[in-house]
Chains A and B, each alone.
Chain A
């Protein structure tokens, strides 16, 4: 997350002129034109050669690990994954059949008949023998070789055009059955993306969502769905803290809406101070996690309040709606501004203000009397965009506001699409859609327009995508 809002006004005009000229044409490519489910790529404008080709080198063993990494690289939408003709029949010339054993336990490796003793360990030996011209001919820019050396797993990233090894990513992974195994592999995949492109992947992330009034988490690749709600009371609006170790949510209790802070690892939760006196909802953390801003519904309507969650004090009212409602706050990544929903124009629309409540103004432009209600804003981690949903012809569609130009574009058009949430790479959005016939979570890549279902269960809603999760947070009891 870059924080460059201070003193950027000087450059702003130049930037605006620049983007105005560029944005409309290149953004077209990322529109959701898919009319078919299951993430099948249909009707997407591809620009061949833009995404580097990557080939996963075949090897015996480590199949489950390799499958997770391959899927993370695929789901990053940053590579053109190249399938080798003949699949595994191509063998590296000097791949040794002897070598270190993997630390994996058997039993969780899908679709493999090989023993758990893998033929790895020869990462170094394989390098010299890689047939770079062959892979270049296949269109590959990168080749990834995954092998085990003792208890260390080594992912070797080959730079095909330069005919050398770009990086070796080493990790001591927990055994396959370990609860942290998948997250550890995801983190490895993210380091591979970092090594290839200079920007980390989104493998080690999770999505919180609500189903039947309870909060669940799921890995971004659809694995390891888990209940995180600790009560039977109805919950809504989960929101991550920037460290990925805590989240907040709202719970109906005794006629009020209570806000709770919960520790991801331990499941321990504490009520936010002053909550329980009214209907409090839609919590949002400031990037430094000192402040929580939330909506409070009272006799006067709904308004935004802030509270210091570090010292559990200092309730402040940020908006005074009188005859309008103000709700659903979301911080800019520099913590300086808050986008929110206000009904002051008659219908809910997207507004913005300074974090202290001053300088409130319209954020996402709309045509009075024409544009439908706009709700559920979320500021992208790179600060450049705000995703939200808007009523279009009686149903909801996901839109993205360009923060610098203050122009909006419609991202979805098939079915009802709502409650978008950003991945930490600021190019993927998870959202709720009924395009398959029932409401479930989907993920769209804004650059390629590719859409895939995150999970196949009906009734999932209000998703919240985590930041990149460090080692400590992925260990869950």
Chain B
């Protein structure tokens, strides 16, 4: 396209030159002036074409840059979602117990790392119980379970002021059911974000 228009322009200029030559052939000074103007015009048109090409290249670069940015944002939010899920993963307890089980320590270590990587993040730990114990005693037991997780996080360097606790006793079962498989899922700590949970950084 560009080269075609350039040739056309050159052709047109050549035709103009030829016709003027034809008209003003007897004058000797005229062709010299015409040649200078012609050269100037050619330089102008080449510069214009160059500018146009540069503009298009810049636009293309910008488009690529924007695409890259969008791609990396998507990757970031995917990562934030992953971190949120890691943070929300529950830990579980044995019957009438509030000590952290060894198989849950990995999950808690992960939460320590997330809290360290995201200094503005504040969370609430909710302690829950199964339906077998006494209704009111379970409020005290759920509190113990929430405190146990909080103490683990604090002992691993997280500021206590970033963690709130709450007990729900047996009032909010995860699973409705009256067997051990339901009970074991209901004896749990839940972790929720209070604030600072946007754009969580991967630890």
Name A residues whose Cβ lies closer than 8 Å to a Cβ of B. Answer: 213, 234, 236-237, 252, 255-257, 279, 281-282, 295, 297-299, 301-302, 325, 327-328, 341, 343, 347-348, 373, 375-376, 389, 394, 396, 418-419, 461-462
Name B residues whose Cβ lies closer than 8 Å to a Cβ of A. Answer: 96, 124, 126, 132-137, 139-141, 143-144, 147, 150, 164-169, 171
A281–B166 contact, CB under 8 A? no
- Chain A residue nearest to B164 (CB atoms) is A255
Residues of B within 8 A of A327 (CB): 136-137, 139-140
A236–B171 contact, CB under 8 A? yes
CA A234 to CA B139, docked complex, whole Å: 13
A252–B96 contact, CB under 8 A? no
Residues of A within 8 A of B96 (CB): 347, 373
**Closest Cβ of chain A: how far from B56's Cβ, in Å?**
58
- Chain A residue nearest to B133 (CB atoms) is A373
Residues of B within 8 A of A461 (CB): 135
Given contacts A255-B166, A418-B135, 17 further A-B contacts (CB under 8 A): A236-B136, A252-B168, A257-B167, A281-B139, A297-B140, A297-B143, A301-B147, A325-B140, A325-B141, A327-B137, A328-B136, A348-B134, A375-B134, A376-B134, A376-B136, A396-B134, A462-B135
Residues of A within 8 A of B137 (CB): 325, 327-328, 341, 348, 373, 375-376
Residues of B within 8 A of A328 (CB): 136-137
CA A237 to CA B133, docked complex, whole Å: 15
**Closest Cβ of chain B: how far from A285's Cβ, in Å?**
16
7 A-B pairs (CB sep. < 8 Å): A213-B171, A282-B136, A297-B143, A298-B143, A327-B137, A343-B140, A376-B135
CA A112 to CA B4, docked complex, whole Å: 111
Q: Chain A: interface secondary structure?
A: strand
CA A327 to CA B141, docked complex, whole Å: 11
CA A410 to CA B1, docked complex, whole Å: 101
Q: Chain B: interface secondary structure?
A: mixed
CA A13 to CA B35, docked complex, whole Å: 137
A256–B166 contact, CB under 8 A? yes
B134–A299 contact, CB under 8 A? no
- Chain A residue nearest to B147 (CB atoms) is A299
CA A375 to CA B171, docked complex, whole Å: 17
Residues of A within 8 A of B169 (CB): 236
From A236, A301, A347, contact of B135 by CB (8 A): A236
A295–B140 contact, CB under 8 A? yes
Residues of B within 8 A of A418 (CB): 134-135
A279–B167 contact, CB under 8 A? yes
- Chain A residue nearest to B141 (CB atoms) is A325
- Chain A residue nearest to B168 (CB atoms) is A252
B166–A279 contact, CB under 8 A? yes
B140–A419 contact, CB under 8 A? no
CA A248 to CA B141, docked complex, whole Å: 22
A257–B134 contact, CB under 8 A? no
CA A47 to CA B9, docked complex, whole Å: 128
Residues of B within 8 A of A255 (CB): 124, 126, 164, 166
CA A252 to CA B168, docked complex, whole Å: 8
Residues of B within 8 A of A462 (CB): 135-136
Interface centre among A297, A343, A389 (most CB of B within 10 A): A297
Residues of B within 8 A of A236 (CB): 135-136, 139, 169, 171
- Chain B residue nearest to A434 (CB atoms) is B178
- Chain B residue nearest to A343 (CB atoms) is B140
Residues of B within 8 A of A256 (CB): 166
CA A462 to CA B165, docked complex, whole Å: 25
CA A462 to CA B137, docked complex, whole Å: 12
CA A302 to CA B137, docked complex, whole Å: 10
User: Which are the 6 A-B pairs with shortest beta-carbon distances?
Assistant: A297-B143, A375-B134, A302-B140, A325-B140, A255-B166, A375-B137
- Chain A residue nearest to B126 (CB atoms) is A255
Residues of A within 8 A of B139 (CB): 236, 257, 279, 281-282, 295, 297, 302, 327
**Closest Cβ of chain B: how far from A433's Cβ, in Å?**
14
Q: A252-B168, A279-B166, A279-B167 are in contact. Are A301 and B143 (CB under 8 A)?
A: yes
CA A5 to CA B137, docked complex, whole Å: 30
Q: A299-B147, A302-B143, A325-B144 are in contact. Are A281 and B133 (CB under 8 A)?
A: no
**Closest Cβ of chain A: how far from B100's Cβ, in Å?**
16
**Closest Cβ of chain A: how far from B141's Cβ, in Å?**
8
- Chain B residue nearest to A256 (CB atoms) is B166
- Chain A residue nearest to B154 (CB atoms) is A299
Interface centre among B139, B140, B166, B168 (most CB of A within 10 A): B140
**Closest Cβ of chain A: how far from B78's Cβ, in Å?**
30
CA A396 to CA B139, docked complex, whole Å: 17
CA A237 to CA B138, docked complex, whole Å: 13
Residues of A within 8 A of B164 (CB): 255
Residues of B within 8 A of A213 (CB): 171
B171–A281 contact, CB under 8 A? no
**Closest Cβ of chain A: how far from B172's Cβ, in Å?**
8
Residues of B within 8 A of A301 (CB): 140, 143-144, 147
